Amino acid sequence: MNKVLLILIVFKLNAQDTIVFPKIDLYKRNIIELSVGLPLGQLSDKYESSINTAFYTRTKIAKHQFIDFGAELHGIVSGRAISYKVTNENVVLNGSKSAFLLGFRYTRFLFRSKSTNFHIESNSGIGWKYLHYRKPETEAFDSIDLKPSLHTIAFSQGLKVMFYGFGLHCNYQYSPYTLFNSKAEANFGASSVNFGLSGSWNF
């Protein structure tokens, strides 16, 4: 009996509870990207290249999965003139100077180092793409309500390598400009590829 009591006392003296607070994931929530875009295929006749800036905000949905929501602004370099159908007549529009993308991206970490300082992620995106064109500045068009910009849906798939919040990324973008618009050239082109730098922060 004494032995049991002694064991109980010893157990009580050594009683110790460890409460471990869960590790908080401090993934970077605000992402800025700077990249150069090169058009592929038919689209390479429409402009030479583009300078892109993008801002995304990230929300965690599972352990290694995120949803990025954001926008990209593209400055078009050497936009070339295109032909555009206005009431059965072909009109030549000056080259585009800007494009815009608003959309979501599903991000999955393919690899993340134990210290979380290094990771490789895959970005699969969907969004609304807008390629801006203006109507010709001639008197004949002054009275016509013409907005020749091209709106379409865009899909993208990218890969990004990040180290201490900074890294490199490349992505392929498919935006079929003639899907919702039959007035532009039939084979307008859709594909482009972007290469650039990426930085991320928590404000």
Partner 1 sequence: MFFASCSIENRINRDDYKELPIIFSVSFYDKLASIKSQYNTRVFTNSFVKQLTDIDNIDYSKPIQLNIIKNELFLKFQDNDKRKFILKFYGKLYNKKFVFYTNYETVSLPIIFITKNMERFTVYFPNENEIIFKKSRVDEGMLLFFGAGNSSNSEYKFKLLKNE
In which region does residue 3 sit, left (phi positive, over 0), alpha (psi from -120 to 50) or beta (all else)? alpha
Is 4 a residue that touches partner 1 (CB under 8 A)? no
d(CA 10, CA 36): 69
Return the number of the residue (109 or 172) whose C-beta is nearest partner 1: 109
DSSP 177: T
Is 114 a residue that touches partner 1 (CB under 8 A)? no
Is 64 a residue that touches partner 1 (CB under 8 A)? no
Most distant CA pair in the chain, distance: 109
Phi, psi (degrees; rounded to nearest 5) at 142: -60, -40
Taking contact as CB under 8 A, which single stretch among the options 38-46, 53-61, 120-128, 160-168 is the one that binds partner 1?
Answer: 53-61
Residues 5-34 that bind partner 1 (CB under 8 A): 12-13, 15-21, 23-26, 29
CB of 109 to partner 1, least distance (A): 17
Burial of 53 per CB tally in 10 Å (0-12, 13-18, 19+): middle
Return the number of the residue (17 or 142) whose C-beta is nearest partner 1: 17
Is 62 a residue that touches partner 1 (CB under 8 A)? no
CB of 201 to partner 1, least distance (A): 13
The CA-CA-CA angle for residues 48, 50, 51, to 5°, reads 145
Name the residues that contact partner 1, by CB under 8 A.
Answer: 12-13, 15-21, 23-26, 29, 57-60, 69-70
